[in-house]
Structure 1
Protein backbone atom coordinates (compact mmCIF):
# COMPACT_ATOMS: atom_id res chain seq x y z
CA UNK A 1 0.00 0.00 0.00
CA UNK A 2 1.47 3.32 -1.08
CA UNK A 3 1.29 6.29 1.25
CA UNK A 4 0.60 9.92 0.40
CA UNK A 5 1.99 13.14 1.80
CA UNK A 6 0.16 14.88 4.66
CA UNK A 7 -2.56 17.34 3.69
CA UNK A 8 -1.86 21.06 3.55
CA UNK A 9 -4.56 21.73 6.14
CA UNK A 10 -6.59 19.73 8.64
CA UNK A 11 -9.90 18.52 7.24
CA UNK A 12 -12.08 16.46 9.56
CA UNK A 13 -14.40 15.64 6.66
CA UNK A 14 -11.71 13.86 4.61
CA UNK A 15 -10.14 10.52 5.48
CA UNK A 16 -6.73 11.67 4.26
CA UNK A 17 -7.06 15.09 5.84
CA UNK A 18 -6.32 14.03 9.42
CA UNK A 19 -2.55 14.06 8.99
CA UNK A 20 -1.49 17.51 7.85
CA UNK A 21 1.40 19.95 7.93
CA UNK A 22 1.85 23.68 8.20
CA UNK A 23 5.12 23.35 6.29
CA UNK A 24 7.18 23.01 9.45
CA UNK A 25 5.51 20.44 11.69
CA UNK A 26 3.35 17.38 11.10
CA UNK A 27 0.05 17.02 12.94
CA UNK A 28 -2.63 14.40 13.48
CA UNK A 29 -5.75 16.44 13.99
CA UNK A 30 -4.51 19.05 16.49
CA UNK A 31 -1.74 16.92 17.99
CA UNK A 32 1.85 17.65 17.00
CA UNK A 33 3.75 14.51 16.00
CA UNK A 34 7.01 15.18 17.79
CA UNK A 35 10.22 14.78 15.77
CA UNK A 36 8.36 13.65 12.64
CA UNK A 37 10.39 14.05 9.45
CA UNK A 38 8.26 16.13 7.10
CA UNK A 39 10.22 15.32 3.94
CA UNK A 40 9.73 11.55 4.25
CA UNK A 41 6.41 11.51 6.09
CA UNK A 42 3.55 9.62 4.40
CA UNK A 43 0.08 8.66 5.63
CA UNK A 44 -2.20 5.69 4.94
CA UNK A 45 -5.94 4.97 5.30
CA UNK A 46 -6.97 4.08 8.81
CA UNK A 47 -4.78 6.65 10.60
CA UNK A 48 -1.45 4.93 9.96
CA UNK A 49 1.72 6.80 8.96
CA UNK A 50 5.48 6.54 8.79
CA UNK A 51 8.62 8.53 7.98
CA UNK A 52 12.22 7.51 7.49
CA UNK A 53 12.73 6.82 11.19
CA UNK A 54 9.41 5.97 12.81
CA UNK A 55 5.96 4.44 12.32
CA UNK A 56 2.77 5.93 13.72
CA UNK A 57 -0.78 5.12 14.73
CA UNK A 58 -2.70 8.39 14.88
CA UNK A 59 -0.32 10.73 16.75
CA UNK A 60 1.41 7.91 18.65
CA UNK A 61 4.80 6.52 17.67
CA UNK A 62 4.81 2.72 17.45
CA UNK A 63 7.46 1.61 19.86
CA UNK A 64 10.14 -0.68 18.40
CA UNK A 65 8.50 -0.76 14.97
CA UNK A 66 10.87 -1.80 12.18
CA UNK A 67 10.54 0.82 9.44
CA UNK A 68 12.03 -1.43 6.74
CA UNK A 69 9.46 -4.21 7.16
CA UNK A 70 6.51 -2.13 8.37
CA UNK A 71 3.42 -2.57 6.19
CA UNK A 72 -0.19 -1.45 6.33
CA UNK A 73 -2.43 -4.50 5.95
CA UNK A 74 -5.78 -2.70 5.89
CA UNK A 75 -7.74 0.00 7.67
CA UNK A 76 -7.40 -1.82 11.01
CA UNK A 77 -4.13 -3.76 11.04
CA UNK A 78 -0.44 -3.14 10.41
CA UNK A 79 2.65 -5.24 11.08
CA UNK A 80 6.41 -5.51 10.77
CA UNK A 81 8.68 -8.54 10.96
CA UNK A 82 8.15 -8.85 14.71
CA UNK A 83 4.84 -7.25 15.70
CA UNK A 84 1.20 -6.73 14.75
CA UNK A 85 -0.78 -3.61 15.67
CA UNK A 86 -4.28 -2.21 15.65
CA UNK A 87 -5.19 1.35 16.60
CA UNK A 88 -5.54 -0.04 20.14
CA UNK A 89 -1.84 -0.87 20.14
CA UNK A 90 0.36 -3.91 19.71
CA UNK A 91 -1.27 -7.35 19.80
CA UNK A 92 1.04 -9.20 22.19
CA UNK A 93 -0.34 -12.65 21.30
CA UNK A 94 -0.04 -12.22 17.52
CA UNK A 95 2.47 -14.13 15.42
CA UNK A 96 3.71 -11.59 12.88
CA UNK A 97 5.09 -14.20 10.48
CA UNK A 98 1.73 -15.89 9.90
CA UNK A 99 -0.63 -13.01 10.62
CA UNK A 100 -3.08 -12.05 7.84
CA UNK A 101 -6.20 -9.95 7.58
CA UNK A 102 -9.57 -11.52 6.84
CA UNK A 103 -11.38 -8.47 5.40
CA UNK A 104 -10.87 -4.81 4.49
CA UNK A 105 -10.89 -3.80 8.15
CA UNK A 106 -13.41 -0.99 8.08
CA UNK A 107 -17.06 -0.41 8.82
CA UNK A 108 -19.05 2.51 7.52
CA UNK A 109 -20.70 4.66 10.17
CA UNK A 110 -23.02 5.85 7.43
CA UNK A 111 -23.72 9.17 5.83
CA UNK A 112 -23.32 12.43 7.71
CA UNK A 113 -25.42 15.29 6.40
CA UNK A 114 -24.18 18.86 6.27
CA UNK A 115 -27.26 20.94 6.93
CA UNK A 116 -28.22 24.53 6.28
CA UNK A 117 -31.38 26.14 7.64
CA UNK A 118 -33.46 24.98 4.68
CA UNK A 119 -31.82 21.96 3.09
CA UNK A 120 -28.85 19.62 2.91
CA UNK A 121 -25.71 21.16 1.46
CA UNK A 122 -23.63 18.01 1.27
CA UNK A 123 -22.93 14.51 2.56
CA UNK A 124 -19.93 12.43 3.51
CA UNK A 125 -19.38 8.82 4.51
CA UNK A 126 -17.23 8.00 7.52
CA UNK A 127 -15.53 4.77 8.53
CA UNK A 128 -14.24 3.13 11.68
CA UNK A 129 -11.70 0.31 12.00
CA UNK A 130 -13.64 -2.95 12.41
CA UNK A 131 -12.58 -6.41 11.34
CA UNK A 132 -10.97 -9.79 11.75
CA UNK A 133 -7.38 -10.96 11.48
CA UNK A 134 -5.78 -14.31 12.17
CA UNK A 135 -2.49 -16.14 12.57
CA UNK A 136 -1.60 -19.77 13.06
CA UNK A 137 -2.75 -19.64 16.69
CA UNK A 138 -5.74 -17.31 17.00
CA UNK A 139 -8.48 -15.31 15.32
CA UNK A 140 -8.64 -11.65 16.39
CA UNK A 141 -11.44 -9.10 16.27
CA UNK A 142 -11.23 -5.33 16.54
CA UNK A 143 -14.25 -3.04 16.85
CA UNK A 144 -12.69 0.33 17.68
CA UNK A 145 -12.64 -0.63 21.35
CA UNK A 146 -9.72 0.04 23.72
CA UNK A 147 -8.51 -3.55 23.38
CA UNK A 148 -8.26 -6.20 20.67
CA UNK A 149 -10.31 -9.35 21.27
CA UNK A 150 -9.23 -12.95 20.77
CA UNK A 151 -12.12 -14.93 19.28
CA UNK A 152 -12.18 -17.95 21.55
CA UNK A 153 -12.90 -21.33 19.97
CA UNK A 154 -12.43 -19.95 16.43
CA UNK A 155 -10.37 -22.19 14.12
CA UNK A 156 -7.83 -20.02 12.24
CA UNK A 157 -7.26 -22.47 9.38
CA UNK A 158 -10.92 -22.42 8.30
CA UNK A 159 -12.04 -19.00 9.56
CA UNK A 160 -13.54 -16.54 7.07
CA UNK A 161 -15.01 -13.07 7.49
CA UNK A 162 -18.15 -11.79 5.78
CA UNK A 163 -16.34 -8.44 5.38
CA UNK A 164 -19.22 -6.58 6.98
CA UNK A 165 -17.49 -5.63 10.21
CA UNK A 166 -19.47 -8.07 12.33
CA UNK A 167 -19.82 -11.67 11.16
CA UNK A 168 -17.46 -14.56 10.48
CA UNK A 169 -17.51 -18.34 10.54
CA UNK A 170 -15.31 -21.43 10.54
CA UNK A 171 -15.94 -25.12 10.00
CA UNK A 172 -17.71 -25.51 13.33
CA UNK A 173 -19.16 -22.17 14.45
CA UNK A 174 -20.59 -18.79 13.42
CA UNK A 175 -19.43 -15.61 15.13
CA UNK A 176 -20.68 -12.07 15.61
CA UNK A 177 -17.67 -10.12 16.75
CA UNK A 178 -16.01 -12.37 19.31
CA UNK A 179 -19.24 -14.14 20.30
CA UNK A 180 -20.54 -17.47 19.01
CA UNK A 181 -24.09 -17.61 17.65
CA UNK A 182 -25.68 -20.30 19.87
CA UNK A 183 -25.99 -23.64 18.05
CA UNK A 184 -25.70 -22.01 14.61
CA UNK A 185 -24.78 -24.46 11.85
CA UNK A 186 -22.12 -22.82 9.62
CA UNK A 187 -23.05 -25.13 6.73
CA UNK A 188 -26.57 -23.69 6.47
CA UNK A 189 -26.18 -20.28 8.15
CA UNK A 190 -26.54 -17.06 6.15
CA UNK A 191 -27.28 -13.39 6.63
CA UNK A 192 -30.73 -12.53 5.36
CA UNK A 193 -30.13 -9.04 3.96
CA UNK A 194 -27.15 -6.77 3.41
CA UNK A 195 -26.86 -4.04 6.08
CA UNK A 196 -29.22 -5.97 8.37
CA UNK A 197 -28.22 -8.04 11.40
CA UNK A 198 -30.75 -10.84 11.09
CA UNK A 199 -29.42 -14.26 10.09
CA UNK A 200 -30.58 -17.86 10.06
CA UNK A 201 -29.61 -21.48 9.73
CA UNK A 202 -32.05 -24.23 8.83
CA UNK A 203 -33.76 -24.12 12.23
CA UNK A 204 -32.97 -20.85 14.01
CA UNK A 205 -33.15 -17.06 13.64
CA UNK A 206 -30.55 -14.71 15.10
CA UNK A 207 -30.26 -10.98 15.68
CA UNK A 208 -26.57 -10.08 16.01
CA UNK A 209 -25.36 -12.92 18.28
CA UNK A 210 -28.69 -13.51 20.05
CA UNK A 211 -31.00 -16.40 19.27
CA UNK A 212 -34.56 -15.16 18.68
CA UNK A 213 -36.41 -17.77 20.69
CA UNK A 214 -39.77 -18.66 19.23
CA UNK A 215 -39.02 -17.20 15.80
CA UNK A 216 -40.24 -19.36 12.92
CA UNK A 217 -37.33 -19.95 10.55
CA UNK A 218 -39.54 -21.08 7.67
CA UNK A 219 -41.66 -17.92 7.52
CA UNK A 220 -39.21 -15.35 8.92
CA UNK A 221 -38.46 -12.43 6.65
CA UNK A 222 -36.70 -9.08 6.92
CA UNK A 223 -38.94 -6.13 6.16
CA UNK A 224 -36.80 -3.78 4.10
CA UNK A 225 -37.67 -0.10 4.39
CA UNK A 226 -35.64 2.09 2.00
CA UNK A 227 -33.34 4.35 3.97
CA UNK A 228 -30.91 7.18 3.28
CA UNK A 229 -28.66 5.68 5.95
CA UNK A 230 -26.28 2.77 5.39
CA UNK A 231 -27.65 0.87 8.38
CA UNK A 232 -31.44 1.08 8.25
CA UNK A 233 -33.75 0.45 11.15
CA UNK A 234 -34.16 -3.26 11.64
CA UNK A 235 -37.61 -4.73 10.97
CA UNK A 236 -38.71 -8.34 10.53
CA UNK A 237 -41.71 -10.62 10.89
CA UNK A 238 -42.77 -14.26 10.80
CA UNK A 239 -46.13 -16.03 10.96
CA UNK A 240 -46.31 -15.42 14.70
CA UNK A 241 -44.55 -12.18 15.58
CA UNK A 242 -43.34 -8.74 14.50
CA UNK A 243 -39.82 -7.61 15.41
CA UNK A 244 -38.17 -4.25 15.99
CA UNK A 245 -34.53 -5.21 16.14
CA UNK A 246 -34.43 -8.18 18.48
CA UNK A 247 -37.63 -7.25 20.32
CA UNK A 248 -41.11 -8.61 19.69
CA UNK A 249 -43.75 -5.92 19.30
CA UNK A 250 -47.42 -5.62 18.40
CA UNK A 251 -48.63 -5.30 14.81
CA UNK A 252 -49.85 -1.77 15.58
CA UNK A 253 -46.48 -0.63 16.96
CA UNK A 254 -44.68 -2.29 14.07
CA UNK A 255 -46.76 -0.56 11.41
CA UNK A 256 -46.61 2.83 13.11
CA UNK A 257 -42.84 2.65 13.53
CA UNK A 258 -42.37 1.80 9.85
CA UNK A 259 -44.73 4.60 8.79
CA UNK A 260 -42.78 7.10 10.92
CA UNK A 261 -39.52 5.80 9.45
CA UNK A 262 -40.76 6.21 5.88
CA UNK A 263 -41.91 9.78 6.62
CA UNK A 264 -38.57 10.64 8.21
CA UNK A 265 -36.60 9.36 5.21
CA UNK A 266 -38.90 11.18 2.82
CA UNK A 267 -38.32 14.44 4.67
CA UNK A 268 -34.56 14.05 4.24
CA UNK A 269 -34.91 13.18 0.58
CA UNK A 270 -36.97 16.31 0.02
CA UNK A 271 -34.31 18.43 1.72
CA UNK A 272 -31.59 16.83 -0.42
CA UNK A 273 -33.51 17.86 -3.53
CA UNK A 274 -33.69 21.41 -2.19
Structure 2
Protein backbone atom coordinates (compact mmCIF):
# COMPACT_ATOMS: atom_id res chain seq x y z
CA UNK A 1 0.00 0.00 0.00
CA UNK A 2 1.27 3.48 -0.89
CA UNK A 3 0.55 6.88 0.67
CA UNK A 4 -0.85 9.46 -1.74
CA UNK A 5 0.91 12.42 -0.13
CA UNK A 6 4.24 11.30 -1.60
CA UNK A 7 2.85 11.25 -5.15
CA UNK A 8 2.83 14.87 -6.25
CA UNK A 9 4.29 14.59 -9.75
CA UNK A 10 2.60 13.13 -12.81
CA UNK A 11 4.15 12.35 -16.18
CA UNK A 12 1.53 11.42 -18.76
CA UNK A 13 4.19 9.53 -20.75
CA UNK A 14 4.77 7.16 -17.84
CA UNK A 15 2.11 4.46 -18.22
CA UNK A 16 3.17 3.00 -14.85
CA UNK A 17 1.92 6.12 -13.05
CA UNK A 18 -1.60 5.90 -11.64
CA UNK A 19 -2.62 7.96 -8.58
CA UNK A 20 -1.28 11.39 -7.62
CA UNK A 21 -2.36 14.70 -6.06
CA UNK A 22 -1.78 18.39 -6.65
CA UNK A 23 -2.40 19.00 -2.95
CA UNK A 24 -6.06 19.85 -3.45
CA UNK A 25 -7.47 17.02 -5.56
CA UNK A 26 -6.82 13.31 -6.08
CA UNK A 27 -6.27 12.15 -9.66
CA UNK A 28 -6.14 8.82 -11.44
CA UNK A 29 -3.77 9.74 -14.23
CA UNK A 30 -5.43 12.83 -15.75
CA UNK A 31 -8.91 12.13 -14.31
CA UNK A 32 -10.08 13.88 -11.15
CA UNK A 33 -11.60 11.63 -8.47
CA UNK A 34 -14.44 13.77 -7.17
CA UNK A 35 -14.88 13.58 -3.41
CA UNK A 36 -11.75 11.54 -2.65
CA UNK A 37 -10.12 12.30 0.71
CA UNK A 38 -6.46 13.24 0.29
CA UNK A 39 -5.39 12.61 3.87
CA UNK A 40 -6.67 9.04 4.09
CA UNK A 41 -6.16 8.07 0.45
CA UNK A 42 -4.02 4.97 -0.08
CA UNK A 43 -3.37 3.05 -3.28
CA UNK A 44 -2.02 -0.34 -4.30
CA UNK A 45 -0.05 -1.67 -7.26
CA UNK A 46 -2.23 -1.13 -10.30
CA UNK A 47 -5.55 0.71 -10.53
CA UNK A 48 -6.83 -0.05 -6.99
CA UNK A 49 -7.16 2.40 -4.10
CA UNK A 50 -9.27 3.44 -1.11
CA UNK A 51 -9.78 6.28 1.36
CA UNK A 52 -11.67 6.43 4.65
CA UNK A 53 -15.04 6.21 2.92
CA UNK A 54 -14.75 4.47 -0.43
CA UNK A 55 -12.79 2.03 -2.60
CA UNK A 56 -11.69 2.83 -6.13
CA UNK A 57 -10.95 1.20 -9.44
CA UNK A 58 -9.23 3.89 -11.43
CA UNK A 59 -11.26 7.04 -10.91
CA UNK A 60 -14.51 5.11 -10.28
CA UNK A 61 -15.84 4.35 -6.81
CA UNK A 62 -16.72 0.69 -6.16
CA UNK A 63 -20.11 0.96 -4.49
CA UNK A 64 -20.24 -2.69 -3.37
CA UNK A 65 -16.68 -2.89 -2.03
CA UNK A 66 -16.02 -3.20 1.70
CA UNK A 67 -13.66 -0.35 2.60
CA UNK A 68 -12.25 -1.99 5.71
CA UNK A 69 -11.12 -5.23 4.04
CA UNK A 70 -10.46 -4.04 0.48
CA UNK A 71 -6.92 -4.54 -0.82
CA UNK A 72 -5.15 -4.77 -4.16
CA UNK A 73 -3.45 -8.14 -4.64
CA UNK A 74 -1.42 -7.40 -7.77
CA UNK A 75 -1.62 -5.35 -10.94
CA UNK A 76 -4.72 -7.21 -12.16
CA UNK A 77 -6.76 -8.32 -9.12
CA UNK A 78 -8.11 -7.03 -5.79
CA UNK A 79 -10.33 -8.43 -3.03
CA UNK A 80 -12.42 -7.64 0.01
CA UNK A 81 -14.22 -9.94 2.43
CA UNK A 82 -17.19 -10.35 0.10
CA UNK A 83 -15.99 -10.03 -3.50
CA UNK A 84 -13.11 -10.45 -5.91
CA UNK A 85 -12.29 -7.65 -8.32
CA UNK A 86 -10.20 -7.38 -11.47
CA UNK A 87 -8.99 -4.28 -13.27
CA UNK A 88 -12.28 -4.10 -15.18
CA UNK A 89 -14.71 -4.66 -12.29
CA UNK A 90 -16.25 -7.25 -9.97
CA UNK A 91 -15.88 -10.97 -10.77
CA UNK A 92 -19.32 -12.33 -9.97
CA UNK A 93 -18.33 -15.99 -10.42
CA UNK A 94 -15.31 -15.93 -8.10
CA UNK A 95 -15.29 -17.64 -4.71
CA UNK A 96 -13.62 -15.21 -2.25
CA UNK A 97 -12.74 -17.96 0.24
CA UNK A 98 -10.57 -19.96 -2.18
CA UNK A 99 -9.50 -17.27 -4.64
CA UNK A 100 -5.77 -16.83 -5.22
CA UNK A 101 -3.62 -15.12 -7.81
CA UNK A 102 -1.21 -17.31 -9.77
CA UNK A 103 1.38 -14.66 -10.64
CA UNK A 104 2.27 -10.97 -10.35
CA UNK A 105 -0.60 -9.99 -12.65
CA UNK A 106 1.57 -8.13 -15.14
CA UNK A 107 3.32 -8.24 -18.47
CA UNK A 108 6.56 -6.26 -18.51
CA UNK A 109 7.76 -4.62 -21.72
CA UNK A 110 11.35 -3.37 -21.55
CA UNK A 111 12.06 0.03 -23.09
CA UNK A 112 15.35 -0.38 -25.01
CA UNK A 113 17.93 2.31 -24.37
CA UNK A 114 18.46 2.57 -28.13
CA UNK A 115 14.83 3.51 -28.81
CA UNK A 116 14.48 7.02 -30.29
CA UNK A 117 12.51 9.23 -27.90
CA UNK A 118 12.91 6.64 -25.11
CA UNK A 119 10.57 7.14 -22.18
CA UNK A 120 12.19 8.16 -18.86
CA UNK A 121 11.53 4.67 -17.44
CA UNK A 122 13.24 1.29 -18.00
CA UNK A 123 10.04 -0.69 -18.59
CA UNK A 124 6.28 -0.55 -19.02
CA UNK A 125 3.96 -2.71 -16.92
CA UNK A 126 0.54 -3.83 -18.13
CA UNK A 127 -2.26 -5.73 -16.37
CA UNK A 128 -2.05 -9.34 -17.59
CA UNK A 129 -2.30 -12.38 -15.34
CA UNK A 130 -3.93 -15.57 -14.09
CA UNK A 131 -5.90 -16.36 -10.95
CA UNK A 132 -7.99 -19.26 -9.72
CA UNK A 133 -10.41 -20.51 -7.09
CA UNK A 134 -11.70 -23.99 -6.30
CA UNK A 135 -13.97 -23.96 -9.35
CA UNK A 136 -12.38 -21.90 -12.11
CA UNK A 137 -9.28 -20.39 -13.66
CA UNK A 138 -9.38 -16.73 -14.68
CA UNK A 139 -7.26 -14.66 -17.02
CA UNK A 140 -7.18 -10.87 -17.19
CA UNK A 141 -5.65 -8.79 -19.95
CA UNK A 142 -5.78 -5.04 -20.26
CA UNK A 143 -6.85 -5.44 -23.89
CA UNK A 144 -9.56 -8.11 -23.58
CA UNK A 145 -10.68 -7.82 -19.95
CA UNK A 146 -11.57 -10.91 -17.90
CA UNK A 147 -11.86 -14.41 -19.35
CA UNK A 148 -12.77 -17.70 -17.68
CA UNK A 149 -10.70 -20.64 -18.96
CA UNK A 150 -13.35 -23.33 -18.82
CA UNK A 151 -11.15 -26.33 -19.67
CA UNK A 152 -8.42 -25.49 -17.15
CA UNK A 153 -7.95 -27.57 -13.99
CA UNK A 154 -7.59 -25.26 -10.95
CA UNK A 155 -5.82 -27.88 -8.83
CA UNK A 156 -2.91 -28.42 -11.21
CA UNK A 157 -2.86 -24.98 -12.87
CA UNK A 158 0.48 -23.11 -12.88
CA UNK A 159 1.25 -19.72 -14.39
CA UNK A 160 4.72 -19.02 -15.81
CA UNK A 161 4.44 -15.46 -14.45
CA UNK A 162 5.10 -13.71 -17.75
CA UNK A 163 1.57 -12.49 -18.40
CA UNK A 164 1.02 -14.93 -21.25
CA UNK A 165 1.73 -18.62 -20.64
CA UNK A 166 0.44 -21.25 -18.19
CA UNK A 167 -0.32 -24.97 -18.03
CA UNK A 168 -2.18 -27.62 -16.06
CA UNK A 169 -1.87 -31.40 -16.02
CA UNK A 170 -3.39 -31.77 -19.49
CA UNK A 171 -3.17 -28.45 -21.35
CA UNK A 172 -0.89 -25.53 -22.19
CA UNK A 173 -2.39 -22.04 -22.38
CA UNK A 174 -1.45 -18.77 -23.99
CA UNK A 175 -3.52 -16.07 -22.34
CA UNK A 176 -7.10 -17.42 -22.27
CA UNK A 177 -6.65 -19.85 -25.17
CA UNK A 178 -5.37 -23.40 -25.23
CA UNK A 179 -2.31 -24.03 -27.39
CA UNK A 180 -3.54 -26.70 -29.77
CA UNK A 181 -2.07 -30.17 -29.22
CA UNK A 182 0.65 -28.88 -26.86
CA UNK A 183 1.67 -31.46 -24.23
CA UNK A 184 2.61 -29.82 -20.90
CA UNK A 185 5.21 -32.57 -20.36
CA UNK A 186 7.23 -31.60 -23.44
CA UNK A 187 6.21 -28.02 -24.26
CA UNK A 188 8.63 -25.17 -23.49
CA UNK A 189 9.09 -21.47 -24.17
CA UNK A 190 12.08 -20.23 -26.11
CA UNK A 191 12.65 -17.70 -23.33
CA UNK A 192 10.93 -15.45 -20.80
CA UNK A 193 8.95 -12.71 -22.52
CA UNK A 194 9.31 -14.37 -25.94
CA UNK A 195 6.06 -15.40 -27.60
CA UNK A 196 7.53 -18.36 -29.50
CA UNK A 197 7.39 -21.84 -27.95
CA UNK A 198 7.75 -25.46 -29.01
CA UNK A 199 6.58 -28.98 -28.45
CA UNK A 200 8.26 -32.16 -29.63
CA UNK A 201 7.28 -31.64 -33.27
CA UNK A 202 5.73 -28.17 -33.52
CA UNK A 203 6.69 -24.52 -33.16
CA UNK A 204 4.09 -22.03 -31.90
CA UNK A 205 3.67 -18.29 -31.84
CA UNK A 206 1.36 -17.37 -28.96
CA UNK A 207 -1.45 -19.98 -29.24
CA UNK A 208 -0.97 -20.53 -32.98
CA UNK A 209 0.97 -23.26 -34.79
CA UNK A 210 3.67 -22.22 -37.26
CA UNK A 211 2.73 -24.98 -39.66
CA UNK A 212 5.83 -24.85 -41.85
CA UNK A 213 8.49 -24.07 -39.25
CA UNK A 214 11.45 -26.45 -39.10
CA UNK A 215 11.71 -27.29 -35.42
CA UNK A 216 15.26 -28.65 -35.64
CA UNK A 217 16.76 -25.37 -36.87
CA UNK A 218 14.26 -22.82 -35.50
CA UNK A 219 15.86 -20.07 -33.40
CA UNK A 220 15.10 -16.66 -31.95
CA UNK A 221 17.02 -13.79 -33.56
CA UNK A 222 17.91 -10.73 -31.51
CA UNK A 223 18.10 -7.68 -33.81
CA UNK A 224 21.45 -6.01 -34.26
CA UNK A 225 20.03 -2.86 -32.65
CA UNK A 226 19.52 -5.01 -29.50
CA UNK A 227 15.76 -4.38 -29.46
CA UNK A 228 15.33 -7.98 -28.27
CA UNK A 229 11.68 -8.66 -27.43
CA UNK A 230 10.29 -5.69 -29.33
CA UNK A 231 10.55 -7.11 -32.86
CA UNK A 232 10.24 -10.84 -32.08
CA UNK A 233 12.29 -12.08 -35.00
CA UNK A 234 12.99 -15.76 -35.62
CA UNK A 235 14.27 -18.00 -38.39
CA UNK A 236 14.90 -21.58 -39.44
CA UNK A 237 16.94 -22.93 -42.33
CA UNK A 238 14.10 -22.29 -44.76
CA UNK A 239 12.18 -19.24 -43.56
CA UNK A 240 12.25 -15.97 -41.61
CA UNK A 241 9.57 -14.80 -39.15
CA UNK A 242 8.40 -11.56 -37.59
CA UNK A 243 5.77 -11.71 -34.84
CA UNK A 244 4.91 -15.21 -36.00
CA UNK A 245 4.42 -14.19 -39.65
CA UNK A 246 6.61 -15.47 -42.45
CA UNK A 247 8.53 -12.66 -44.15
CA UNK A 248 11.04 -12.40 -46.99
CA UNK A 249 14.80 -12.42 -46.51
CA UNK A 250 14.90 -8.77 -47.54
CA UNK A 251 12.25 -7.83 -44.98
CA UNK A 252 14.05 -9.83 -42.30
CA UNK A 253 17.39 -8.12 -42.95
CA UNK A 254 15.73 -4.69 -42.91
CA UNK A 255 14.13 -5.38 -39.51
CA UNK A 256 17.29 -6.98 -38.15
CA UNK A 257 19.42 -3.94 -38.88
CA UNK A 258 16.91 -1.11 -38.55
CA UNK A 259 17.49 1.52 -35.86
CA UNK A 260 13.89 2.76 -36.12
CA UNK A 261 11.62 0.58 -33.98
CA UNK A 262 8.01 0.47 -35.09
TM-score, normalised to structure 1, is 0.84
Distance 1:231 1:77, change over 3 A: same
Distance 1:15 1:42 in 2: 19
User: Any unmatched runs of 5+ in structure 1?
Assistant: 266-274
Distance 2:140 2:61 in 1: 20
Distance 1:223 1:65, change over 3 A: same
Give the SS at the match of 1:195: coil
Q: Is residue 77–residue 84 contact of structure 1 (8 Å, CA) maintained in 2? A: yes
What does residue 148 of structure 2 align with?
150
In the TM superposition, what whole-angstrom CA distance separates every residue of 1:189-208 from its partner, at most 9, and x where no partner exists?
11012332110011111011
Distance 1:146 1:174 in 2: 20
The structure where helix makes up a greater share of residues is 1
Distance 1:226 1:68, change over 3 A: farther
Alignment: residue pair count: 259
What does residue 269 of structure 1 align with?
none
What does residue 4 of structure 2 align with?
5
Give the SS at the match of 2:217: coil
Once the two structures are TM-superposed, the CA of residue 41 in structure 1 deviates from its matched residue by 0.7
Q: How does 1:103-182 map to 2 (within 5 A)?
A: 103-111=103-111, 123-124=120-121, 125-145=123-143, 147-182=145-180
Once the two structures are TM-superposed, the CA of residue 88 in structure 1 deviates from its matched residue by 0.6
In the TM superposition, what whole-angstrom CA distance separates every residue of 1:149-170 from its partner, at most 9, and x where no partner exists?
1112011111111111111111
In the TM superposition, what whole-angstrom CA distance separates every residue of 1:197-242 from its partner, at most 9, and x where no partner exists?
1100111110111011122222222222255546321222223332
TM-score, normalised to structure 2, is 0.88
Distance 1:161 1:256 in 2: 35
Cα RMSD of the aligned pairs, angstroms, is 2.5
Distance 2:195 2:118 in 1: 31
In the TM superposition, what whole-angstrom CA distance separates every residue of 1:84-119 from its partner, at most 9, and x where no partner exists?
111211111111111111111112244288x9xxx8
Distance 1:245 1:97 in 2: 40
Distance 1:146 1:238, change over 3 A: closer
Q: Is residue 15–residue 45 contact of structure 1 (8 Å, CA) maintained in 2? A: no
